Amino acid sequence: MKETPLPLSLRLAVFFLFTTQNIGNTMIPVFIGYMVYSFLEDQFDDKDINIKVAYYTGLIEANYKLMSFIGSFLWGYVSDHISRKSTLLLVLIGNILSYLLLGLSVNYSMAFFARAIAGLCAGIVPITKATMKDMTDKTNYPKLFSYCGMGTGFGSLLGPLIGGLLSNPCFAYPSKFSCSYLSLFPYLFPNIFYILSVFICITLVKISIKPIQTKSVTPEKTEIFKELIMNKNFFLSVFCYGLIAAAQLGFRVLLALWVKTPQDLGGIGWTTTKTLGLVQSIGALIIIGFSYIAVPWFSLKFGNLISCALFSGFLCPLIFLCPFTRDFDYIWLLVFMTMIYGFVMAFFTSYISLISIEISNSVSPSIVGSANGLSQGLVALFSASASATVGGIYGWTLAINSSFPFDCHFTFIVLCGIILICIFITLWPRKSKPEVPNEFKNIIESQEVSVVESKN
With contact defined as beta carbons under 8 Å apart, do 1 and 137 qualify? no
- pLDDT confidence of 178, banded at 50, 70, 90? low
With contact defined as beta carbons under 8 Å apart, do 416 and 338 qualify? no
- pLDDT confidence of 383, banded at 50, 70, 90? confident
**Confidence at residue 359, expressed as pLDDT on a 0 to 100 scale:** 84
Please, what is the average pLDDT of the chain? Answer: 81
**Confidence at residue 110, expressed as pLDDT on a 0 to 100 scale:** 94
- pLDDT confidence of 449, banded at 50, 70, 90? very low
Choose the weakest-confidence range: 127-131, 178-182, 434-438: 434-438
Identify which has the larger pLDDT, 200 or 66.
200
Backbone phi, psi, residue 27, to 5°:
-75, -45
Flag whether pLDDT at 111 surpasses 90.
Answer: yes
Q: Over the stretch 226-239, which tens digit does the pLDDT of each residue have?
A: 667 778 888 899 89
Identify which has the larger pLDDT, 97 or 42.
97
Flag whether pLDDT at 82 surpasses 70.
Answer: yes
SS3 of the chain: the string is CCCCCCCHHHHHHHHHHHHHHHHHHHHHHHHHHHHHHHHHCCCCCCCCHHHHHHHHHHHHHHHHHHHHHHHHHHHHHHHHHCCHHHHHHHHHHHHHHHHHHHHCCCCHHHHHHHHHHHHHCCCHHHHHHHHHHHCCCCCCHHHHHHHHHHHHHHHHHHHHHHHHHCCCHHHHCCCCCCCHHHHHCCCHHHHHHHHHHHHHHHHHHHHHCCCCCCHHHCCCHHHHHHHHHCCHHHHHHHHHHHHHHHHHHHHHHHHHHHHHCCHHHCCCCCCCCHHHHHHHHHHHHHHHHHHHHHHHHHHHHHCHHHHHHHHHHHHHHHHHHHHHHHHCCHHHHHHHHHHHHHHHHHHHHHHHHHHHHHHHHCCCHHHHHHHHHHHHHHHHHHHHHHHHHHHHHHHHHHHHCCCCCCCCHHHHHHHHHHHHHHHHHHCCCCCCCCCCCHHHHHHHHHHHHHHHHHHC
d(CA 318, CA 344): 7
Domains in the chain: ranges and CATH: 9-208+219-436 (1.20.1250.20)
**Confidence at residue 447, expressed as pLDDT on a 0 to 100 scale:** 41
Q: Over the stretch 22-42, which tens digit does the pLDDT of each residue have?
A: 899 888 887 888 888 888 888
**Confidence at residue 61, expressed as pLDDT on a 0 to 100 scale:** 78
Q: Over the stretch 249-282, which tens digit does the pLDDT of each residue have?
A: 889 888 888 888 888 888 888 876 678 777 877 8
Q: What average pLDDT score do residues 360-383 get? A: 76
d(CA 358, CA 368): 12
Taking CA 33 as the corner, what is the angle to CA 27 and CA 37, rounded to the nearest 5 degrees? 140
**Confidence at residue 17, expressed as pLDDT on a 0 to 100 scale:** 93
